Chain A
Amino acid sequence: MSSSDVHTSELGNLSPAETSPASDDLYAEAVLDARLGREARDVLEATVVLEAWTGRPAKRAMGHARRLVSLDGPTPRAMSDLDPFDDSSQHSVVAEGVALVLLILSVAAWASPISKQLGPDVLSNAIRVALPIAVALQWGLRSRYLSRPEGLECLARDGVPVLLWCLLLFDLPLLLFHGWGPVAAMLVPVWVGGTVITMRGWGLLYAAILVVGTVAMERAVDPYIVLGSLAGITLLICLAAVGSVSARTDLRAGSLQRAVLAGLIGGLIGILLVADPSLGWGVHGLHPAVALLPSAIGSFWGGYYLWNFYDAVPRGLRGVPLRGASRIALSDPAMSIFVGGIARLLGATIVLSGIVIGIGHWTHGTDAASVFVAFGLVGLLCLLVGLLEAFSLYRAALIATGAGLATELAWRSAMHPTVPGGALAAGAAVAVMISLPVLLIRLARSGGVLATTLWIQ
C-alpha cells in the first residue's frame, strides 16, 4: 500500500481520482510536454517532472517515465544560451576618453610653468618616479576591482583601507625626497584617482578639474598649491565617486595575488616609458607628453574594442559543432577581435601622429617621427600585455616587459642617444615580438581560447 493510498483511506479523497493506466500515461505525457516543451531527455528527467508536478511517488513515476521516454527520437541540439553582455561599463567611454586626452594635455601644459618655477629637473624627476608608480597602481586596481562588472561595489566596500594602503606604501614615502618628491607625491593621486573617477562615469568632472588646474598653472599660481589642491580634490571626488556606489559586502574582489602581478607588469611598463633619457620628460616642454597622445588614444580605442572579447568569443562559438571547436582559423571570433583591436590602435596612432607632426611648429617642435613610433609600440605593447594578463599568462607578460626593459637599458648604455625615443622603441619592439607570438598561437583556436584560457584561470 503506497503512502498516498494510506492518506486517502484515512483522511478522505483529496488526491486525484483513480484513472486507468492508459489515461494515466496520456496525462503523464501531457504534463511532461507542458513542463519541458519537448520530449524528456531521459528517465530521470521524466521521473522528477511526474513526481514534482503530479505528486506520484518516485517508484510509480519512474515506471511511467520508462514507458514515456523515447529512445530513438531525433537528436536535439544543446545550443547554448548566453546571458546578454553587461555593457554598462562602456557607457562612460566618451567621458573616459575626454578625461584621458585632457590628462595628457594638462601634463604637457604643466611642463613649462613647473619647470620655470621649480627648475627643469624637478618635473622631469617627478614624472620618472610618479609615472611607473601610477601605472602600477592603475593596473593593480583594474585587476582587482575596476575591470569587473561589480568592481566599483567591491571598491566601495574596501575603498578607505585601499586608499590608505596605497598612500602609505607608494605615495607618502615620496615626500621624503627633497625637490621632486612632493611633486611626484601629488601627481600619483591625480593620475590614479582619475582612473577611479572616470570608471565611475564622472570623467567630465575630472576633466573640468584638470582644466581649472591647468589655467591656474598658466596664471603662475604656485605649482605646489595647484598640484596639492588637484591631488586633494581628486582624492575627495574619488572617495565620493566610490562612496556613492552601494557597497556590496557579499562580493569577492579579484585575487590579491593577480592584482600584485598586474601591478608589477604595469610598473615595468611605466619604467619602460621613463627609462629613455632622450625623451626628457619635463625638460623638453610639451614634447613627450603630446607625442604620447596619439598612441594613448589609439591604445584606449583598441583596448575598449578588446573588451568585447568576453562576450564576442562565446557568442561567435555559439552553434559551432564540436569538430570546429579546436580548428585553427584566422577568421575565428577571437582572432577577429584581436585584429580589430590592433587595427584600431595602429590606425588611430598613425593618423593622429601625422596630425601632431603636421602641427609641430605649434607644439614646440614635437616632430620627431621616432618618438611617435616609440610611443605607438608602447601602446601596442600595453594592448598585448593587457591581453596576456586577462588570459592569466602572467609569466609571459612579465618576461616580455622585463626583456623590453632590459633591451631599453642596454640600448641606452650601448648606443649614443642620437635618435629620440630610440631606446624606448627598441625595448617596446622586443617586448612586442615576445608577446605577439604567444597570443597568436592561443588566439588562432577560438574554442581552445574559450575553454583553456578564458574560463580556466
Chain B
Amino acid sequence: MLLITEGTYPYAVGGVSSWCHAVLTGLSETDWDVLPILAGRKHQRPTVKPPPNTRLLPSIDLWSEGHAPRRLHARRTTDHGLLPAQLLRGLMPWEGDLAGLTAALVRCRRNPESIRPEFRGRESWERFVAELEQLLMDSHRDSAPAPIYDAIEAARLYQALYWVARTAAVPTPPCDVLHVTAAGWSGIPAIIHKALYGTPILLTEHGVYVREAYLASVREAAARPGHGHISPRLALGMTRAVYAAADVIAPVTEANAEWERGLGVDPAKIRVIPNGIDPPKEYTAPPNIKKVIGMGRLDPLKDVQTMLLVADEVTRRLPDARFDCYGPPTLGQEMYADACSVMHRQLGLGDRFRFMGGTRDPYGAIRSGDLVLMTSISEAMPMTLLEAMGQARPIVATSVGGVPSVIRGCGLVAPPGDIHELATAVVTLLSNPALAARLGRRGYERVHRKYTLARCLGAYDELIRELAGTVAA
C-alpha cells in the first residue's frame, strides 16, 4: 500500500494523523509506504514514529527551494511550452479537462527535467496568459462571472501550477493499492500512478478538501477583500480530478458523502467508514466539579474565540465553572493563537479559562472534566468527540459536518457561532449532573456499539483486499 498524506502524518498532530497511525499500526499484516506532502518552507520533524511495517518516503516539499530535477541538456518535448496552459485547462475551470490534465501530469512524471525550463520559458507564459484570458470568460450555471485577474494573480497561479507539475514529477514506488488521505495535492501522485500502472485508488476524506479550501478563502476574504479566487478553484480542480480517478471514496461520515454527491461523485463509489477508537472497558463517572474541557488545535476552524465567549457567558451564570482548553496552535496559525490570548485577557477570564497546550494524555484530560465543548465551524467526524464519548463525558458541540449524527443522544448541539445557545447547553449540563451523566453513559455505550477501532480497521481491511483483488484478478 502507498499512503499519501498532505500536511498531516507523521509530521503534525491532529485527528487525521491519529487515524493514519491507527490504520498503519492496526493493519499490521500490510506493508505500507507513506509519502508525505508538506508545505516546505520549514523544517519539520515527525511527531510520531511510524510502526515497523511502514516505510517513510522522502517528503514532497511544496514551495520549497529544493531543485527541480535537471539535466544539462533536457530533452525538448514535442509539445514544449504547452504544459502550464494544459494544467490550467485541467484545474481552473468549473469543470476542467480531466483527460488532458492526466496526460499533462503523466508527461511531468516522464520528463521531470523539462518542467523547470518549460515554466521559465517566455513562450509558456504567453500561452498560459492567453489561455487564462479565454478561461475567465467561460461561464457556468453554478458560478458567477470570474473576477478580472491582474498580472500578479496570474503569476501566482502560474507558480501554483509549477508546483502541481513538480509534485507530479516525483516517482512513486510500486504498490497494489494507492490510499489517498485528502482529495487535493496528495491525489496528484496517485492519479499518475493509476494512469501508468492501473493501480486502484482508495480516497479517505476526513474533511471535505474543497470545503476546507473554500472556508480558508472566505476567512482570508474577510481580511483581504481582493483575495482568494485561485486557491479554492485550484482545490476544486484537484478534488474533481481525484474524485474521478478514485475507485472508492470512503468518507468518515455521511455528511461528507453529501458533499461528494453534490460534487457529482457516483454514489456507487462512496462507502462511508466512520472513524473508530479503542474505548476503555471501564466506565468512569464525571467528577462533578463544573469543569468544561475543550480539545483541539488553536485554529480558526475550531473557532476558539467563540469558545472564549461561551466561557465568558457561562461563568457569568455559573461563577464556579472552569474551562481547560487543550491543544497547540496549528502550524502557521500562531497569529490566531495570539489573538485568542488577547481576547482571553480582554474578557478578563483569568484562571476560569486556561490554555493548557498540547497533551500526551488526551483521555486523562477529558476525564478531568464534566463535559467536552467543541465550537468548530467545520468538522467531519472529529476523533475528540469519540474520545469524549469513550470516556463517558457528555458533549456540547456545534452542528457542523458529521457531528450531529455522531453525538446523537449523547450531547447537545447548537448552530456554529451561536454563543447564547452553546452557553445555555453548557449551563444546562453543568447544572444537571444527572442529565449529564446519563448522556455520558449513552455516549460510552454508543462508542462501544458503533465506533470501535476494530470495526473501522475491519472495514478498511476488507476494502483494501477487495481493491487489491481486482488488480490480481
Residues of A within 8 A of B (CB): 3-4, 6-7, 10-11, 14-16, 35-45, 47-49, 51-55, 57-59, 62, 66, 69-82, 249-252, 254-255, 257-258, 314, 317-326, 445-448, 450-453, 455-457
Q: A57-B258, A73-B145, A251-B42 are in contact. Are A321 and B151 (CB under 8 A)?
A: yes
Which chain B residues in 81-104 approach chain A with CB under 8 Å? 94
16 contacts between A and B (CB under 8 A): A4-B399, A4-B404, A10-B409, A36-B218, A47-B214, A51-B400, A55-B400, A55-B418, A57-B258, A77-B226, A81-B227, A251-B43, A257-B67, A322-B149, A447-B125, A451-B154
Q: Is the CB of B414 within 8 A of A326?
A: no
The residues of A that contact B146 with a CB separation of less than 8 Å are 75
CA distance A16 to B42 in the complex (A): 44
Q: How far is the CB of B283 from chain A (nearest CB, A)?
A: 21
The residues of B that contact A450 with a CB separation of less than 8 Å are 151-152, 155
Q: Which of B141, B150, B259, B421 contacts A80 (CB 8 A)?
A: B150
Q: A71-B143, A81-B227 are in contact. Are A326 and B218 (CB under 8 A)?
A: no
Q: A52-B215, A78-B150 are in contact. Are A43 and B143 (CB under 8 A)?
A: yes
The residues of B that contact A445 with a CB separation of less than 8 Å are 122
Q: Is the CB of A447 within 8 A of B218?
A: no
CA distance A16 to B151 in the complex (A): 45
Q: Is the CB of A81 within 8 A of B150?
A: no
Q: Is the CB of A78 within 8 A of B151?
A: no
Chain A's closest residue to B66 (CB) is A255
Interface-centre pick from B43, B150, B400 (highest chain A CB count, 10 A): B150
The residues of A that contact B67 with a CB separation of less than 8 Å are 255, 257
Q: A14-B424, A55-B416 are in contact. Are A457 and B65 (CB under 8 A)?
A: yes
The residues of A that contact B121 with a CB separation of less than 8 Å are 452
Q: Is the CB of B151 within 8 A of A254?
A: no
Q: Is the CB of B162 within 8 A of A79?
A: no
The residues of A that contact B150 with a CB separation of less than 8 Å are 77-80, 317-322
The residues of B that contact A69 with a CB separation of less than 8 Å are 142-144
Residues of B within 8 A of A (CB): 40-44, 64-67, 94, 116, 119-122, 124-126, 129, 132-133, 139, 141-156, 158-159, 162, 210-211, 214-215, 217-218, 221-222, 224-227, 229, 232, 236, 255, 258-259, 262, 377-378, 398-400, 404-405, 408-409, 412-418, 421, 424-425
Q: Is the CB of B43 within 8 A of A249?
A: yes
The residues of A that contact B255 with a CB separation of less than 8 Å are 3, 57-58
Q: Is the CB of A451 within 8 A of B158?
A: yes
Q: Is the CB of A447 within 8 A of B154?
A: yes
Q: Is the CB of B258 within 8 A of A452?
A: no
The residues of B that contact A6 with a CB separation of less than 8 Å are 404-405, 408
Q: Is the CB of B143 within 8 A of A41?
A: yes
Q: Is the CB of B154 within 8 A of A325?
A: yes
The residues of B that contact A80 with a CB separation of less than 8 Å are 150, 152-153, 156, 226-227
Q: Is the CB of B415 within 8 A of A15?
A: yes
Q: How far is the CB of B295 from chain A (nearest CB, A)?
A: 20
CA distance A73 to B147 in the complex (A): 11
Q: Which of B42, B377, B412 contacts A252 (CB 8 A)?
A: B42
CA distance A45 to B124 in the complex (A): 31
Q: Is the CB of B408 within 8 A of A52?
A: no
- 6 pairs of A and B residues whose beta carbons are closest in the complex: A55-B415, A78-B147, A325-B151, A451-B155, A42-B143, A80-B152
CA distance A54 to B399 in the complex (A): 9
The residues of B that contact A254 with a CB separation of less than 8 Å are 65
Q: How far is the CB of A248 from chain B (nearest CB, A)?
A: 9
Q: Is the CB of B425 within 8 A of A14?
A: yes
Q: A37-B222, A452-B122 are in contact. Are A55 and B158 (CB under 8 A)?
A: no
Q: Is the CB of B152 within 8 A of A42?
A: no
The residues of B that contact A323 with a CB separation of less than 8 Å are 133
Chain A's closest residue to B407 (CB) is A7
CA distance A41 to B228 in the complex (A): 10
Q: Is the CB of B378 within 8 A of A52?
A: yes
Q: Is the CB of A451 within 8 A of B412?
A: no
Q: How many A-B residue pairs have CB under 8 A?
A: 237
Q: Which of B66, B145, B221, B409 contacts A36 (CB 8 A)?
A: B221
CA distance A71 to B147 in the complex (A): 12
Interface-centre pick from A3, A258, A450 (highest chain B CB count, 10 A): A3
The residues of B that contact A3 with a CB separation of less than 8 Å are 255, 399, 404-405, 408
Q: Which of A53, A54, A71, A457 contacts B141 (CB 8 A)?
A: A71
The residues of A that contact B154 with a CB separation of less than 8 Å are 322, 325, 447, 451
Chain A's closest residue to B122 (CB) is A448
CA distance A317 to B152 in the complex (A): 6
The residues of B that contact A51 with a CB separation of less than 8 Å are 211, 378, 400
Q: Is the CB of A326 within 8 A of B125?
A: yes
Q: Is the CB of A320 within 8 A of B399?
A: no
Q: How far is the CB of A334 from chain B (nearest CB, A)?
A: 11
Q: Is the CB of B415 within 8 A of A54?
A: yes
Q: Is the CB of A252 within 8 A of B124?
A: no
CA distance A7 to B398 in the complex (A): 12
Q: Which of A16, A35, A77, A446 contacts B147 (CB 8 A)?
A: A77
Known: A44-B142, A78-B149. 17 other contacts (CB 8 A): A4-B404, A10-B408, A51-B400, A52-B218, A52-B377, A52-B378, A57-B255, A58-B258, A66-B142, A69-B142, A70-B144, A71-B143, A73-B144, A80-B150, A252-B41, A314-B155, A322-B129
The residues of B that contact A78 with a CB separation of less than 8 Å are 147-150, 153, 226, 229
The residues of B that contact A448 with a CB separation of less than 8 Å are 122, 125-126
Q: Which of A35, A44, A49, A249 contacts B236 (CB 8 A)?
A: A44
Chain B's closest residue to A44 (CB) is B214
Q: Which of B132, B416, B417 contacts A322 (CB 8 A)?
A: B132
Q: Is the CB of A38 within 8 A of B218?
A: no
Q: Which of A7, A71, A257 contacts B408 (CB 8 A)?
A: A7
Q: Which of B41, B226, B262, B413 contacts A58 (CB 8 A)?
A: B262
The residues of A that contact B153 with a CB separation of less than 8 Å are 78, 80
Q: A70-B144, A71-B141, A451-B158 are in contact. Are A37 and B41 (CB under 8 A)?
A: no
Q: A66-B142, A451-B154 are in contact. Are A255 and B258 (CB under 8 A)?
A: no
Q: Is the CB of B147 within 8 A of A38?
A: no
Q: Is the CB of A44 within 8 A of B222?
A: no
CA distance A447 to B149 in the complex (A): 13
Q: How far is the CB of A452 from chain B (nearest CB, A)?
A: 5
CA distance A254 to B154 in the complex (A): 26
CA distance A246 to B87 in the complex (A): 42
The residues of A that contact B398 with a CB separation of less than 8 Å are 55
The residues of B that contact A40 with a CB separation of less than 8 Å are 144
The residues of B that contact A257 with a CB separation of less than 8 Å are 67
Q: Is the CB of B415 within 8 A of A38?
A: no
Q: Which of B44, B262, B413, B425 contacts A62 (CB 8 A)?
A: B262
Q: A3-B408, A53-B377 are in contact. Are A42 and B133 (CB under 8 A)?
A: no
CA distance A446 to B132 in the complex (A): 18
